[in-house]
Amino acid sequence: MTGRNAWTLSDTTADLRRSARGPVPVEVTAAPQDLVLDLARTAVVVVDMQNDFCHPDGWLAGIGVDVTPARAPIPVLAELVPALRGAGAAVVWVGWGNRPDRANLPPGVLHVYDPAGTGTGIGSLSNRAGAPVLQEGSWAAALVEELAAVVEPGDVHVPKFRMSGFVDTVLDSVLRNLRVDTLLLTGVNADQCVLNTLTDAANLGYDVVMVEDAVATTSPSFCMDATVYNVRQCYGFTTRAANLLPAVRRAGA
């Protein structure tokens, strides 16, 4: 991906012109308006599709949450991500990857995962797999197997430490270095980490589009309804993979 923002060098000259990348326009049905996207300036951002959130042996399942809804985006993303990559979009995987010592996590973040202070939150072994919860390098923080299978070497991985993928991370500098303007937001949970990442992206000046069938939540259905409403009303747009895929595949042919 570094070729998106690179100089041409010789022993006598630094050519500061970036290589020209022609637009890859696609027309997509969306709400509240249809969109024309430039895939050459677009990244798909996949949030938190990790074992602790989406696997039956992960942390959420271990505390009694039905993770079936969180698994719904898996087949959609397994099809959508390679198609977008093939048409010129950047692929960015964002997920919790905390330090083993949790030194950068304030009490408010730790409380979310262990509200009663029983020692079952981040970094504990409180999942059926016995892996440190959401700890960088652990099985718990790894992408689910089905999506790990579609990762390619040119993809970018960004660990995060808050509900937002932008706070205290390199995500903004990575996206700007990729020369990206538009973000397609996907992953879980739609009303929590996806929405927080989307909101910060919009506030930073990115164009934001949430892919409704590539996000999910284990929260009550009204949370999803409110998320869709607020994305359309306040921040950007929503579309569906079924709307994106035909246009993306034509562009990548």
* Residue 168: partners with Cβ closer than 8 Å, 6 or more residues away: 104, 160, 161, 162
- Which residues make beta-bridge pairs with 239? 211
Rounded average pLDDT over 20-43: 95
Q: How far apart are CA 197 and CA 166, in angstroms?
A: 6
Of the candidates 152, 151, 126, the one whose C-alpha atom is nearest the C-alpha of residue 140 is 126
User: In this predicted structure, what is the pLDDT of residue 86?
Assistant: 96
Q: How far apart are CA 213 and CA 194, in angstroms?
A: 13
Token pair 């027309």: residue = 27
Catalytically active residues are 48, 160, 193
Residue 12 is encoded by which pair of tokens? 């006598």
User: In this predicted structure, what is the pLDDT of residue 4?
Assistant: 86
User: In this predicted structure, what is the pLDDT of residue 2?
Assistant: 59
Banded pLDDT at 18 (limits 50, 70, 90): confident
> pLDDT tens digit string along 52-83?
999 999 999 999 999 999 999 999 999 999 99
CA dist 199 → 37, 121, 194 (Å): 19, 26, 9
Neighbours of 199 (CB within 10 A): 20
> pLDDT tens digit string along 97-137?
999 999 999 999 999 999 999 988 999 998 988 999 999 99
- What region, left, alpha or beta, does residue 206 occupy, with left being phi > 0 and alpha being psi -120 to 50 degrees? beta
Mean pLDDT of the chain: 96
Q: What's the CATH architecture for 24-99+141-252? A: 3-Layer(aba) Sandwich (3.40)
> Is the peptide bond preceding residue 32 cis, with omega within 30 degrees of 0?
yes
Banded pLDDT at 193 (limits 50, 70, 90): very high
Q: How many residues appear in the chain? A: 253
SS3 72: coil
Q: What percent of the chain is predicted at pLDDT more than 70? A: 99
Q: How far apart are CA 164 and CA 12, in angstroms?
A: 44
Q: How far apart are CA 31 and CA 233, in angstroms?
A: 10
User: In this predicted structure, what is the pLDDT of residue 23?
Assistant: 94
| pTM for this prediction | 0.96
Q: How far apart are CA 84 and CA 91, in angstroms?
A: 8
Q: Is the pLDDT of residue 187 over 70?
A: yes
Q: How far apart are CA 89 and CA 69, in angstroms?
A: 27
User: In this predicted structure, what is the pLDDT of residue 110?
Assistant: 95
- Which residues make beta-bridge pairs with 42? 182
CA dist 72 → 66, 190, 235 (Å): 12, 12, 24
Every domain of the chain and the residues it spans: 24-99+141-252
